[in-house]
Chains A and B, each alone.
Chain A
């Protein structure tokens, strides 16, 4: 260790001299704290190979994670109780993910939903805040009554399920609600129309509801899309009587009236677009089939 100008230094001077010659302390030459880095590999053998929290022997060590509810040969709890009738057929039941009235109001207030147009499943999915998975037996959205008292929107909405109090809350504000059924292929097209149009297939025909849903969607009390409009009007009045509010007259607002009266055909899935039409986003054109048989198919 040579000193400055071949001086022979010792002790403190020598140490200070060394410090003077060393580079400045910076991020590039400091060592990280011990245990600052965690290896993401499980070492084996001499490289830290022990049990790694998996225990000794058996199911735990081999990490063969058993299926949910399995009790290694015991009569499992979920089978031990002989009858759970409310779970019957749960794997094939239709599922309607919830959207609360509070969320709906927030969507309107933050401008994610345009109340000057009818709100349907496509509009809800286009907010990108709600996902729908038709492959998991999800058949659309249901409106729940959370935030019912604070709901002020005047809307024409179409959902797949709505309880009575939600219907009352919407109609009290002078809005309109319809419950409608969509089959899975229609839902796949509706939840992401841009993706659907990119597939280059014509808009599918909406299928009729299955037998166990027919009753719901033909009931004017549920504002079903297959119910008689006159009976729906009557039920609107009855509900207003029941909940004690005055039903706002839709005709008083002639500007909003056409939008409020807009409904889809039971075979239609997009507003303004018929089944069987092909939408081409590149050419910005819509193509209709002319073949009689095709027209017949898409009409019926």
Chain B
């Protein structure tokens, strides 16, 4: 609290005026409802009213035709309408009311100013409340926030790195995916074509479209398969024999030309 300047300059302090007095209260501020010495010293003076003043008071009483109760009359004329020593109603004894009374009528109320501040118990309660409401110091909160920020930044950084890496790989991955899809499609297309050819053959054999589930079709299919197998076998045989003949021809040629033959 070192920076606080004591110069008064905000607009509301104007009402306080230039003659600012710093009045320090002596003694503890916790003696509530006790009156200061000020009223005690002023009482005898008030009691000794001379005749003139009495007359003035009587005249004032006659003039007062408001029919207001004294309490209300005083309230209307901004005078002390309460006697703090002899409270009429229970609310006049409350701390809140007495604080307001001091604010309104100043030290003339005769109430100990200590009432304005919290008592020891209230102060302890306030301190405890603040401890719960503000569990961390400013430095702790700043550090914590900093740490959270850093973590957040780190998280974003790793994510961005990951994204960059993946973006670099994107082209090759796209190609791979396309190839895979094309391959799959090609296989499917080949199968479909084979099936279509089969159906067409069966149709040409029977002269009408036969359902694939039909036993006729199945029979035909088996037959076809058998034929295909046979054709394959024959093909293999043919290839083998061709190979053998070509080999023999080559050997014969080699013998005739006298070249060395490499045996496989």
Q: Does A122 contact B (CB under 8 A)?
A: yes
- A208 and B26 CA atoms in complex are apart in Å by 31
Q: Does A291 contact B (CB under 8 A)?
A: yes
**Chain B: CB-nearest residue to A298:** B1
Asked whether B16 lies within 8 Å of A200 as measured between CB atoms, the reply is: no
Asked whether A271 lies within 8 Å of B103 as measured between CB atoms, the reply is: no
Contacts of A280 in B (CB 8 A): 102-103, 106-107
Q: Does B138 contact A (CB under 8 A)?
A: yes
Contacts of A97 in B (CB 8 A): none
Contacts of B117 in A (CB 8 A): 202, 276, 278, 289, 291, 294
- A227 and B21 CA atoms in complex are apart in Å by 35
Partner of A265, one of B4, B106, B116: B4
Contacts of B107 in A (CB 8 A): 280, 283, 285
CB distance from B61 to the nearest CB of A (A): 26
CB distance from A271 to the nearest CB of B (A): 5
Asked whether A272 lies within 8 Å of B9 as measured between CB atoms, the reply is: yes
Q: Does A279 contact B (CB under 8 A)?
A: yes
Given contacts A202-B117, A274-B1, contact A284 B20 (CB under 8 A): yes
Asked whether B13 lies within 8 Å of A272 as measured between CB atoms, the reply is: yes
Q: Does B130 contact A (CB under 8 A)?
A: yes
Q: Does B142 contact A (CB under 8 A)?
A: yes
Chain A interface residue number, banded: 35 or more
Asked whether A271 lies within 8 Å of B10 as measured between CB atoms, the reply is: yes
26 A-B contacts (beta carbon < 8 Å): A126-B12, A200-B103, A200-B116, A207-B130, A211-B141, A214-B141, A214-B142, A218-B138, A218-B142, A272-B4, A272-B8, A273-B8, A278-B117, A280-B102, A280-B106, A281-B103, A282-B105, A282-B108, A285-B106, A286-B21, A287-B25, A289-B25, A291-B30, A291-B117, A294-B29, A299-B1
Asked whether B3 lies within 8 Å of A265 as measured between CB atoms, the reply is: yes
Q: Which residues of A contact B (CB under 8 A)?
A: 114, 117, 120, 122-123, 126, 193-194, 197-202, 207-208, 211, 214-215, 218, 226, 262-265, 267-268, 270-276, 278-291, 293-294, 297-299
7 residue pairs, one from A and one from B, having the closest CB atoms: A200-B99, A200-B103, A282-B106, A283-B106, A193-B12, A272-B8, A214-B141
- A134 and B51 CA atoms in complex are apart in Å by 56
- A267 and B4 CA atoms in complex are apart in Å by 9
- A265 and B142 CA atoms in complex are apart in Å by 19
- A290 and B144 CA atoms in complex are apart in Å by 37
Asked whether B127 lies within 8 Å of A123 as measured between CB atoms, the reply is: no
For B17, B22, B108, the residue with the greatest tally of chain A CB atoms inside 10 Å of its CB is: B22
- A174 and B127 CA atoms in complex are apart in Å by 42
Asked whether A286 lies within 8 Å of B16 as measured between CB atoms, the reply is: yes
Q: Does B6 contact A (CB under 8 A)?
A: yes
Partner of B116, one of A114, A211, A215, A287: A287
Given contacts A126-B12, A193-B12, contact A208 B138 (CB under 8 A): yes
Asked whether B103 lies within 8 Å of A197 as measured between CB atoms, the reply is: yes
Count how many chain B residues have C-beta atoms less than 8 Å from C-beta atoms of the other chain. 56
Q: Contact mask B136-177 → A, CB, 8 Å, 1/0?
A: 101001101100010000000000000000000000000000
**Chain B: CB-nearest residue to A288:** B24
- A270 and B6 CA atoms in complex are apart in Å by 11
Asked whether A287 lies within 8 Å of B28 as measured between CB atoms, the reply is: no
Asked whether B5 lies within 8 Å of A272 as measured between CB atoms, the reply is: yes
User: What's the A-B contact tally at a CB cutoff of 8 Å?
Assistant: 152
Q: Contact mask B46-59 → A, CB, 8 Å, 1/0?
A: 00000000000000
Contacts of B120 in A (CB 8 A): 293
Q: Does B113 contact A (CB under 8 A)?
A: yes
- A262 and B6 CA atoms in complex are apart in Å by 11
Asked whether A285 lies within 8 Å of B10 as measured between CB atoms, the reply is: no
Q: Does B204 contact A (CB under 8 A)?
A: no
Contacts of A288 in B (CB 8 A): 22, 24-25
Contacts of B108 in A (CB 8 A): 282
- A61 and B213 CA atoms in complex are apart in Å by 72
Partner of A284, one of B16, B113, B144: B16
Given contacts A198-B104, A291-B29, contact A208 B11 (CB under 8 A): no
Asked whether B113 lies within 8 Å of A278 as measured between CB atoms, the reply is: yes
Asked whether B20 lies within 8 Å of A282 as measured between CB atoms, the reply is: no
Known interface pairs A265-B2, A267-B1, A275-B1; 19 further A-B residue pairs with C-beta atoms within 8 A, sorted by A's residue number: A117-B10, A200-B98, A200-B99, A207-B133, A207-B134, A215-B149, A262-B5, A265-B4, A268-B4, A271-B8, A272-B6, A279-B16, A280-B107, A285-B21, A285-B107, A286-B20, A287-B25, A287-B116, A297-B123
Asked whether B23 lies within 8 Å of A294 as measured between CB atoms, the reply is: no
Asked whether A271 lies within 8 Å of B9 as measured between CB atoms, the reply is: yes
